[in-house]
Amino acid sequence: MKSNKSTSLFPRELVLESLKQSFVKLNPRLMVKNPVMFTVEICTVLMIVATLYFLFAGITDQGSFGYNVAVSIILFITLLFANFAEAIAEARGKAQADSLRKTREETPAKMIVNGKVQVISSSQLKKGDVFECEAGDVIPSDGEIIEGLASIDESAITGESAPVIREAGGDKSSVTGGTKVLSDKIRVQVTTQPGESFLDKMIALVEGASRKKTPNEIALSTLLVSLTIIFLIVIVTLYPIGMYCGVQLPLSTLIALMVCLIPTTIGGLLSAIGIAGMDRVTRFNVIAMSGKAVEACGDVDTMILDKTGTITFGNRLAADFFPVEGASRSDLIRCAALTSLHDETPEGKSTLELARRLGDSSEEIPGSSFIEFTAQTRMSGVDLPDGTKVRKGASDAIEQYVTSQGGKIPSDLHAHVEKVSSLGGTPLVVCQNNQVLGVIYLKDTVKPGMAERFERLRAIGIKTIMCTGDNPLTAATIAKEAGVDGFIAECKPEDKISVIKKEQAEGKIVAMTGDGTNDAPALAQANVGLAMNSGTTAAKEAANMVDLDSDPTKILEVVEIGKQLLITRGSLTTFSIANDIAKYFAIIPAMFMAAIPQLGVLNIMHLSTQNSAILSALIFNAIIIPCLIPLAMKGVKYRPMSSGKMLARNMMIYGLGGVVTPFIGIKIIDMVITPILTAMGI
């Protein structure tokens, strides 16, 4: 899977485009969408106008011209840095959209009209039209295979080089426009209108055209606006307080204090965090239909997972050999291996692999004739040059074969078959000529590392429920091995909906994976529905996320990305608000200490002058935004833990760090700029 590949955060081309967009975004109609930075823009314009007015009007009691110019420049740079943070996040999405757009090139479509092939442009295809594709053709539009079977190269969409099989009927019938047919011939019925294909939706989503603010983002924006209004009132009241104390507060100082105290850090990074969150999901080859879906992942309490293909491998694999009375285990293993040398099914491959692990080294004998499995015979095998016939297959099929060869059925065969069945496995019986040798135990095999992954989810308070059509005994065995918190045996589609509704009624956020039409109702009911790209159109339309790799376990990564998004936003908000404490200690003493010497106790940084103190705070306020862009883009590193521990950890790192860092940063800046300001006479 290519999805999680490492790429540079700041490629040269994206940086240049983002710098250009930083100026474009100064448009007030765009800035007003971010109230905090719009306030900074108003302050910047006001400061520039005031500076020019003071100059031409000859007003000297509002600070020196050089000082006012410095404040204006720093405010303008603050705006550019905030716009750059958003622009670089958007640019990464647009670059990815461009690469996706290349897969949507105009391709000819072999449309079936009255039973004849008519070549037209892919853009002319409408919903309901039928087209044909054969080896080498690019599929012109999204659709469902109605006839045939073919191997499909989906690397243009997923990045996965291995071809996949798509066939008419079932849950593997969906194909995506832009993918390529590698073998055979298929007929496909178009399921979308022009411009509304899955790839079109992907491009729009990645570009951010369809992105809307999430509830969490709206709530945070409301908080930031409230803080801005509060600090605005504080600044307005400071002027009469200063007059009462005999302190003339220049307009530039009041504006500087305003910009420093409002949460500009998180205000400048808020949009970038949201865009980057969706971008991270996309880089895992998951397309989120909205930012709300990504965010909801961060609040998931319960996860519903199918057993087959999600927790276990899609096919049952060989786990053990049980010889019958009168047969040796070594003969059973040898014959099972011989029948599996050319058996390309997962069952056959796993049988040969298990035999090799147990020491068997049987090789193909020249002149052997291999018998493929068919639905009619329900067995496969090999005829050796010396006339020996070895077979493996279903119990009743092998029993019938042995009997027809004049052989007898061992007395303990049924006991072995029932033992395997009671364990929830599939028994395959092996025979040589007319002698039954024993049983191959095929079992549902839990994917490696699943137990650890479920333990990771448990550590962060997420309950996992496995759904399976198996009997309760088999389900319990798999559930225990996998380490899930609960299971539903003999599960029907309505059972999935019932358990989702039950969890939601308790106020929990539920996530689910699925790929079939029968999963569509449950995917729509769940708060987070992750559909497989290989699945049916109904499943993809019902879900709010689609996994291009068709990996059902991907939801585990998606949940962590959602958590990371929320944590990043919370951590940087904490850091931003904590910043204000240091800026308060930098500016307030500088403003009033001359008139109120008692405020000297607050001057813990011992900054050089009033002007250097204010400018140092402003400079730090500006440069901290680009410094935090990598963190906003990559996200705060996520570790599974309880919400209480997570809060305490983030308060320690970003709360305490947000207080300490500005003290150090402002002091260093003050030491650097003081000689410069002295030389300039400011």
- At 488, list the tokens: 């539903």
Spatial distance between the Cα atoms of 412 and 423, rounded to a whole number of angstroms: 17
Question: What are the DSSP E strand ranges found in 77-142?
Answer: 108-113, 116-121, 130-134
CA 369 to each of CA 316, 335, 405, 428: distance values in angstroms, whole numbers, following the listed order: 26, 14, 19, 21
Non-local (6+) Cβ contacts of 100 within 8 A are 157, 199, 202, 203, 206
Question: At 108, phi and psi to the nearest 5?
Answer: -70, 145
Contact yes or no for 489/505 (Cβ under 8 A): no
Q: Could you give the CA distance from residue 289 to residue 270 in angstroms, rounded to a whole number?
A: 20
Q: Which residues contact 504 (CB under 8 A, 6 or more apart)?
A: 510, 525, 527
Taking a C-beta distance cutoff of 8 angstroms, is the pair 372, 380 a contact? yes
pLDDT of the residue at 384: 92
Residue 430 is encoded by which pair of tokens?
A: 């092996």
In tens, the pLDDT along 230-277 reads 888 888 888 888 788 777 778 888 888 888 888 888 888 887 787 777
* Residue 319, CA distances (Å) to 316, 333, 428, 439, 516 in order: 9, 12, 12, 11, 29
Residue 215: name the closest of 136, 305, 298, 150 by CA: 298
The amino acid that residue 590 corresponds to is A
Please tell me what DSSP assigns to residue 116: E
By CB atoms closer than 10 A (0-12, 13-18, 19+), residue 538 is buried
Residue ranges of alpha helices (H) inside 32-64 are 35-57
| Residue 416 DSSP class | H
SS3 content of the chain, % helix, strand, coil (to 5): 55, 15, 30
Q: Which two tokens stand for residue 395?
A: 């119990």
Q: How far apart are CA 38 and CA 36, in angstroms?
A: 5
Query: 621 has which bridge partners?
Result: none
DSSP state of 365: P
CB 165 within 8 A of CB 183: no
Task: Please check whether residue 351 is in contact with residue 336, taking contact to mean a CB–CB distance below 8 angstroms.
Answer: yes
Q: How far apart are CA 326 and CA 438, in angstroms?
A: 10
- The pLDDT, as a whole number, for residue 140 is 85
User: Alpha carbon 286 to chain centroid distance?
Assistant: 6
Work out whether the CA dihedral 408, 411, 416, 421 comes out positive or negative: positive
pTM: 0.66
Please give the backbone phi and psi of residue 87, each rounded to the nearest 5 degrees, phi first: -65, -40
Residue 403 makes CB contacts below 8 A (sequence gap 6+) with: 409
| Beta partners for residue 152, in sequence order | 164, 181
Token pair in block for residue 468? 């399976």
306 is catalytic: yes
Q: Which residue has the tokens 């996309």?
A: 282
Asked if residue 316 lies in contact with residue 426, where contact means CB atoms within 8 angstroms, the answer is yes
Question: Could you tell me the two tokens for 46?
Answer: 């006001």
CB 189 within 8 A of CB 128: yes
Work out the burial of residue 15: count CB atoms within 10 Å of its CB; fewer than 13 is exposed, 13-18 middle, 19 or more buried: middle
| Strand blocks (E) in 387-474 | 389-393, 426-432, 435-443, 463-467
* Strand duo 463-467 + 302-306: pairing: parallel
Between vectors from CA 261 to CA 256 and to CA 267, what angle results, nearest 5°? Answer: 105
Decide: 594 and 247 in contact? Cβ < 8 Å. Answer: yes
What backbone torsions phi and psi does residue 443 show, to the nearest 5 degrees? -130, 160
pLDDT per residue as tens digits for the range 323-350:
999 899 999 999 999 999 988 777 888 8
Using 50 as the pLDDT threshold, list the residues of the chain that sit under it.
Answer: 1-6, 161, 209-210
Tokens 């069952």, located at residue: 347
268: helix, strand or coil: helix
Are 515 and 171 within 8 A, CB to CB? yes
Handedness of CA 275, 276, 281, 282 (dihedral sign): positive
Distances (CA, A) of 675 to 352, 461, 593, 672, 680: 79, 55, 22, 7, 9
Residue with token string 């019925």: 189
* Whole-number Å distance between alpha carbons of 631 and 480: 39
Please state whether beta strands 302-306 and 510-514 pair in parallel, antiparallel, or not at all (unpaired). parallel
SS3 at position 544: coil
Are 446 and 311 in contact, with CB atoms under 8 Å apart? yes
What are 591's two structure tokens?
């403003």
Question: 496 CB contacts (<8 Å, ≥6 apart)?
Answer: 304, 467, 488, 512, 519, 521, 522
Which is the catalytic residue, given 129, 137, 306, 343? 306
User: If you ran DSSP here, which 8-state letter would residue 10 be given?
Assistant: S
Burial of 116 (C-beta count, 10 Å sphere; 0-12/13-18/19+): exposed
